[in-house]
Structures are given as C-alpha cells and as structure tokens.
Structure 1
Amino acid sequence: MSSNKNALIRYKTLDKCLKNKYKKYTLEDLIDECSEALFEFEGKESFVSKRTVQLDLQNMRSEKFGYEAPIEVFEKKYYRYSDPEYSIHHISVNENDLKAMNNAVQILKQFKDFSMFKDMNGVIQKLEDSIHSTNQKSIIHLDKNEQLKGLEHIDILYESILNKKVLKICYKSFKARESNIITVHPQLLKEYNNRWFLICWQKEAIYNLALDRMEEIEIDEKTEYIDKDFDADRYFGEVIGATVSETQRPQNVIFIVNSQHAPYVKTKPFHHSQEIINEDEKGTTFKICVQLNFELERMILGMGEFLTVLAPRKLKKRIAKSLRIANSNYQEDRDR
C-alpha cells in the first residue's frame, strides 16, 4: 500500500478517535488504533511508530492539508478535539474555493463523454453534488474530437500498458496494400495535433503506430511482456510531433518570421530548444535543434508566406518544392 494511502487511513482513524465523546484516548491508544486500522486494510501486521502518530497529529493541527484541527491534550495524557462538533470531513470552504472547484468541474465535464475517461463520470457527478455546482457554461474550452477514427482502441491499449500485456494488432499503414498482424509490447499512448499514437517495442526497436490505422486488437497471453521503462520526455525531446528516427541526429533549423507574425512564434515556441538569434525590421530569426520529420515540415508550411527557412539546405529545398507544387495547383485553377 502506498505511503499516501497509509497516511489517509491514519488521519481518518485519528479523526474517529478524537471526536469520540465517550472514550478517552492516550497517545498509545491512538497508535494501537492506527495499527489496527492498517491491519484491517492490508491484511497483515502493520506497526505504526510513536513518531509517526505525533507527526500526524501535528499535520492535522497545521494548515498543511487545510485541517487546522483543534486537537488538545486534557488531563495531561488524553487527546480530543476541543470543539466536539469538529471533524476533518466537515472542513468549510470559502466562496473563492467553491468557485475554483466549480471551474475545475466544468473542465472535467468536457472529458466525461470521451471513452478513455468514462470511469470519471461518477466522480464528476459526486464533485458537482458536493460543491453544489451550477449548470453554468464552461469558460474554458479544450480542443478535442471524440469522432476521431481509432479512439475506440484507447481503452484496451491503456489497460494493456497499465497491466503490461503483449498485443497482436491488425495494422494497415497508409502505404500498405494489405493489413499485417504485428506483435507489440505497448509502452505509451501519445497524442499530437488531435491524433493518437501507440509507442511500442517490436523486434528490437521502438515503433510509432497510429490508432486510426489499427483494425483489430487482441491480447497475447502467451508472450512475455518486455518493459522498456520508457522515458517519453527523453524520447520525444528532439522532435516536433510523434515521428522519431532512431538513426537521425537533430539539426539546427534556422528560419525567419516576419515582424507581424514573430510574436506568435515567440509566445508559442515550435520547440523547447527555440532561441532568437537576430531581430531587425524584416523580422525575427529563430533557431531550433530538432530531427527533420513530417510534423516539422507541416508546421513550417502552416505558416505559409510568413516564414522562410534559411537552413539546413535539405529542409529549405523540400519546403520550396512543396510550395511550388501548391502554387502550381492554384495556377491550374486559373487556367480553367
């Protein structure tokens, strides 16, 4: 059992004892009660030290968890609440607290129809009931699309990662003519630009599989799961998006954004490595250090005429080619 859960059980037990008007509790009694409560939950002997209970009482008295419990020692040995009506479960909250909690509920409600968060429905309802949440419209809107193809697979993928299960996935990439059955060891679910991916270990390498290309999934109980102790921040640290090359090194990508649109790139950097290397009347020159991938090109092309790639030469040529083709498409429209 986690230390946090142990602490919650002890606080709940101490609260029950301290508000008991018909029994006197010494420190030793409180220690015994906490030990017994933990035994009931864990099913094994759990000795709680004197120091632990003393710290628990101190924390309950303090503002640390918002309790500020009125704990007193009477007759120099017994513990109780000086206010007989007090309980840590009856903590009052002010109007600002209620507003903050209500705003949090409005945000959570945006996820309650999402299959991945379906188990949250009851929790959200309880929160609404307990804080007397109103039916006010949300003032924070999160970008989501529950109709995306592949979202129906999230539950089984999530559970497989959580429970360390190997999967057999019927997968058809955009380039393939036929579907293939692949056996994978799922490590992480990744969302980028409203599209979901499964990061998995397969045949001695990490692969990125789009959920919208998955046709069928089943658990492989016969194959032993390989846990790669996946570090998402490190793995995606040198890329924009979800496409990572195991062999490509990151490169310095230098680009200039005109003065009108430079503030948007300053306040929402393309990548955490972004830095400004020059500013003048023409615009702002930025540098990022990333792998060259599809998502980087899409981001650059999305800025259109407001951004010009200066380096590396390979990326500059690819962007120029894409823009020439796009321009020719519109030239054909004019010729019709």
Structure 2
Amino acid sequence: MATNKHAQIRYTILDRCFSNFNRLYTYDYLLEEVNDHLYELGTEGIRLRQLQYDIDHMKSDAGWAIELDESLKKERKKAFRYQDKSFSIANHPLNVDDLEQLETTITILSRYKHRAEFSWLEELIPRMEQAFNLVADGDNGIVGYQENIDLKGRQHITTLFNLIVKRKQIKIIYEPYGKPQFDVVVFPYHVKQYNNRWFLFCFNAQYQSISNYPLDRIMSIEELAEGFEPSAINWLDYFDDIIGVTKPEDDKLEKIHLKFSEQRVNYVLTKPLHGSQKLDKSDEGGQMVIIEVVPNNELYQLLLSFGADVVVISPPKVRDEMVERIKNLTNNY
C-alpha cells in the first residue's frame, strides 16, 4: 500500500517531467525527480519497478492514455517525453480512478454540509459536480458562478498556499499601479478573495505590521531559507469587524445607522451588508438597519453603490465622509 499512497502526487510529477520539452528524462532522472518530492513530504521514495507501473498506468485507458515519444535517448539511455507538446493530464478528462475517487469524496463531504461550520459545502459540492461533469447528461450548466478566469495572479494561489502551509519566508516582486516594481520580504499568513480579487495577507518586517498585497500586482514569488515568524492572529475572526480586506489599525468599531428606500430595503434584508446587520427596532417603517464595523474604503464603496436608495443617519464621522465623497463625485459631472 505504501507505493500507492501518494500515486496522484507521482502522476503529477511525471506529467510535469513529460511536459518539459527543455529537458530529457531517463528512468534515473524520473526516479530522482519523484523521490525528491516524496522526501520533501516526509514519505519514503519508490523503486524502478513502481515507476514503471506508474508510467504503464498513465498509458492505459484506466489512466489517461498518454502517448510518449519513446524513441528518444539521453546518455545512451531511454528517455521519455510526450509526443504532443500541448498535452497534460491536467487538461485531460477525468480517468476512471479519478472519477471514482472524486465521487467518493463528494459523498463523504455531503454528510457534513448541513453543519454550520461547513455551510460553504452547500456551494462547493454542486460547483465540483458541474466542473467535473458529474451531473447527468444534459444537466451541465445548471448553476452559474461569478468568476474571472482571466484574472491576473491566479497562478500564485497554489504556490502561496503551499508556502503558508510549509511556513516559509518569501520575497515578492510587487508592481503598484503607475509606480516602479520593488521587492519585499514577508511572512505569508493568509490568502483571501474579495470582490473577485485575491489578496495575500502577511507580516511585513520592514513596517512591523500586517500588510496585504493583491495577487494581480505580484510579479514573482521566491522562497527563502531564513526562519519564519508565526502569526498569533486568528484569521477566521480577523475580518469579522470589516467589510472587504482593509483593516485600519487606528479606527474603532462604529454602529452605523442606515436608512434604505422602500424599494431597496428588502434586498438588503435578504442579502445583509455584514454579519452584524440587524433591524433598527425604533424605526416603525422597517427601513432602518444597523451594522457594526470599522469604517474603511470598501464600506464607503458599498454604500455609494446604492446611490439614492440609502442615507447614512449616524455616526457623524461616517455621514460626513459620505457627504465629502458624494461632493467629489458630483464635481466629476
């Protein structure tokens, strides 16, 4: 069983080697590549016989029916590479084994989707079923999701996830809008999506504070060998007091009273602005809601999106900021 435990990892590594048209891999080099990755995971390596079994499985119909150019030689030894330069098992439909494992996984996850802490599974499961064509013929496309597949920086998500799990210090090359690139060394802690954009939250040693960087402005990520400064922040709670991703350090929680128009209030009640939202019971018309958040730019952007359908009643600080922003908006016209 030990040789099969990390089979999917081995297939992914072999796929990467076969896809590399800048290098030829013999059995020896393939073994070295696979075992180096397995050792990093803290597990034992494999022998030549298991490697041959893995390649045979990838060639079979139960695998991905891969086609290798086996006429190649390197150092008088047989070498391997895909015949089709554009082929990758990542772009190939699920094989029989993958399909069975995925369906089993979804079945297990479905047992927990009614528990409060796993409510996110209610969206994830149908999304997986649709993405991997696990729905009945003719039913594909039942659910549509808002997603920007062309978003720059998406390729960094997996890299950052692995670096955070491994607790690695990193150096990123960052390019702000309209400014030159710069590099910064950080301790990565958390990756969050907001408004169809991804953000890295990390400790910036230079400023001795938490910083966030949108992934679409990160040009490159380099893993460093230096030590790691662990985070004491509970990231499950970190965003509870704000809307969006900007957390002002000096501001405090404010109870914000908002009055919505009759036409808009029901939309707000069915899709709350924030987890703290509640009806103002002193308002007989039922059009007033209260949220308790730290004011930030995302809050004001959200309120402005309602146009004339919302009025900030209090506190004066938030009301005055809205007035100022509306004046600036009016000046544009």
Aligning the two structures, in what range does the TM-score lie when normalised by the shorter sequence? 0.5 to 0.7
Paired with 1:178 and 1:273, the residues of 2 have a C-alpha distance of: 40
Question: Which residue is 1:275 aligned to?
Answer: 278
Unaligned runs of 5+ in 1: 6-41, 44-89, 112-123, 331-336
**SS of the counterpart of 1:279?**
coil
Q: Does 1:149 align with 2:166?
A: no
Give the secondary structure class of the aligned counterpart of 2:191. strand
Which structure 2 residues correspond to residues 49-68 of structure 1 after superposition, within 5 A?
none
For 2:230, the aligned partner's letter is D
Q: Distance in 2 between matches of 1:185 and 1:321?
A: 37
| Paired residues for 1:1-336 under 5 Å | 107-108=127-128, 124=132, 128=134, 133-174=136-177, 177-203=179-205, 204-221=208-225, 223-277=226-280, 278-281=282-285, 284-330=287-333
Q: Write the letter of the residue equivalent to 1:200.
A: C
Q: Report SS of the residue matched to 1:158.
A: helix
The answer (yes or no) to whether the contact 2:130–2:140 under 8 Å persists in 1 is no
Deviations 1:139-164 (A, max 9, x none): 22121111112212222111111221
Measured after TM superposition, the shift of residue 328 of structure 1 is 3.2
Please give the per-residue CA displacement for 1:219-240, whole angstroms capped at 9, x wherever unaligned. Answer: 112x111221542222111100
* 1:186 CA drift (Å): 0.7
Work out the number of aligned pairs and report it: 216
Q: Report the TM-score, using the length of structure 1 for normalisation.
A: 0.58
TM-score w.r.t. length of structure 2: 0.58
Larger Rg: 1
CA distance in 1, matches of 2:250, 2:303: 23
Greater per-residue helix proportion = 1
CA drift of 1:109 comes to: 5.7
After superposition, the C-alpha distances for 1:11-45 in whole angstroms (9 at most, x for unaligned) are xxxxxxxxxxxxxxxxxxxxxxxxxxxxxxx99xx
- Which amino acid in 2 is paired with 1:300? L
SS of 2:276 mapped into structure 1: coil
- Tell whether the 8 Å contact from 1:238 to 1:291 is kept in structure 2 after alignment: yes
What's 1:64 paired with?
A: none
The one-letter code matched in structure 2 to 1:289 is E
Aligned residue for 2:35? none
Preserved CA contact (<8 Å) 1:187 1:230: no
Report the residue type matching 1:206 in the other structure: I
Supply the RMSD in Å over aligned alpha carbons. Answer: 3.0
Identity %: 28
Change (3 A) 1:317 1:180: same
Q: How much has 1:241 moved relative to structure 2?
A: 0.5
Q: Distance in 2 between matches of 1:133 and 1:275?
A: 41
Task: List, as ranges, runs of 4+ consecutive aligned residues in structure 1 with deviation greater than 6 Å.
Answer: none
Where 1:232 maps in the other structure, the secondary structure is coil
Gaps of 5+ in 2: 6-42, 45-99, 112-122
Offset at residue 104 of structure 1 (A): 7.4
